[in-house]
Structure 1
Amino acid sequence: MGRRLDFGHAAGDVYRAFIQADRALCEGPLDTRLYHLAKLRASQINQCVFCVDMHVYELKEMGETDDRLFQLVAWRESELFDARERAILAYTESATRLGDDGVPDDVWAEAARHLDEKELGALVGAVALINAFNRISVPTQNRPPIRT
């Protein structure tokens, strides 16, 4: 299975705008590690192998433990995530799946309890952006590098 389309080449201006938005979010008020946890969880839900691979390696470079990375997919049952992380992950899942009711009030309220307004705005932008990236990489079959 090869990549269907090099999006960066085919839509360079759009791709560069996405990268610029990602840089702004990385430099924004939301803790970088939390930003990457949200990106990894959304990418797991969307089954985006390219983004899952990238965000695991980014988190490992930041010192994230293997146990937390292994348990992220089952974070609700894990004892390794604190209340703030759980609020961010719950928001990420709700905003990624967007059911008929969107993000439920209780999920929003819990995120707002743990994040200030600027952090919450950054989280909304982060989850929207990673979902956009996933929706580019999955259809174009973007693949991670093979590491040995």
Structure 2
Amino acid sequence: MEPRLDYYAASPRAMKAMITLEAMTSHLSIEEPLMHLIKIRASQLNHCAFCTDMHSIDARRLGESDRRLFSISVWRSSDFFSPREKAALAWTEALTQLTGSDVSDEVYEALRAEFTEAEMVDLTMAINAISSWNRLAVSFRQKPST
């Protein structure tokens, strides 16, 4: 399938706002390797091949192992992830799959045990940002380079 349109060219002002949001989330309290894990997981859930590919490449550049990258989709049953990472991935899934349900107290309490209040807000903003990017890429059929 061909891309539907170039959203950067179609609405530069909207994209400037997205880039500003992305820049802001890149400088918050969440460590960069964890940021890539949540971006990959949200992108997988949103069926965004472009963002999954991009953030997997970025994570590998930071030294992330193939084994952990291959295991993100099964993080619950993997020993490759720390309690902090698992809490962030659970929060990512809960927020990304918000339609039709709320975020459980159990997921919130696990997050609260691993993150400060500021980090919880920062993580939530980062999840919101990647979900917005996913929706742009999926809606307008942006694909990874082959």
Q: Residues of 1 paired with 2:88 and 2:72: CA distance? A: 12
Q: Residues of 1 paired with 2:73 and 2:138: CA distance? A: 19
What's the counterpart of residue 70 of structure 1?
Answer: 70
User: Is 2:140 aligned against 1:140?
Assistant: yes
Shift of 1:44: 0.5
Q: Residues of 2 paired with 1:9 and 1:105: CA distance? A: 42
Q: Residues of 1 paired with 2:139 and 2:100: CA distance? A: 24
What's the counterpart of residue 121 of structure 1?
Answer: 121
Q: Which amino acid aligns with 1:55?
A: H
What's the counterpart of residue 82 of structure 1?
Answer: 82
SS at match of 2:77: coil
Q: Residues of 2 paired with 1:62 and 1:119: CA distance? A: 21
SS at match of 1:3: coil
SS at match of 2:60: helix
| Structure 2: gaps (5+ residues) | none
What's the counterpart of residue 13 of structure 1?
Answer: 13
SS at match of 2:3: coil
Q: Which amino acid aligns with 2:11?
A: A
What's the counterpart of residue 24 of structure 2?
Answer: 24
Q: Which amino acid aligns with 1:59?
A: A
Matched pairs, number: 146
4+ residue runs of structure 1 moved beyond 2 angstroms?
none
Using the size of structure 2 for normalisation, the TM-score is: 0.96
Q: More deviation in 82-91 or 115-124? A: 115-124
| Structure 1: gaps (5+ residues) | none
Shift of 1:2: 1.1
Q: Residues of 1 paired with 2:27 and 2:12: CA distance? A: 22
Shift of 1:101: 3.0
Shift of 1:99: 4.1
Q: Residues of 2 paired with 1:96 and 1:39: CA distance? A: 11
SS at match of 2:145: coil
Cα distance per residue 1:46-72 (max 9 Å; x no partner): 110100010000100110000000011
Using the size of structure 1 for normalisation, the TM-score is: 0.95
What's the counterpart of residue 101 of structure 2?
Answer: 101
Q: Residues of 1 paired with 2:99 and 2:121: CA distance? A: 21
Shift of 1:100: 3.0
Cα distance per residue 1:71-118 (max 9 Å; x no partner): 111111111001000000000001000143321111111111111111
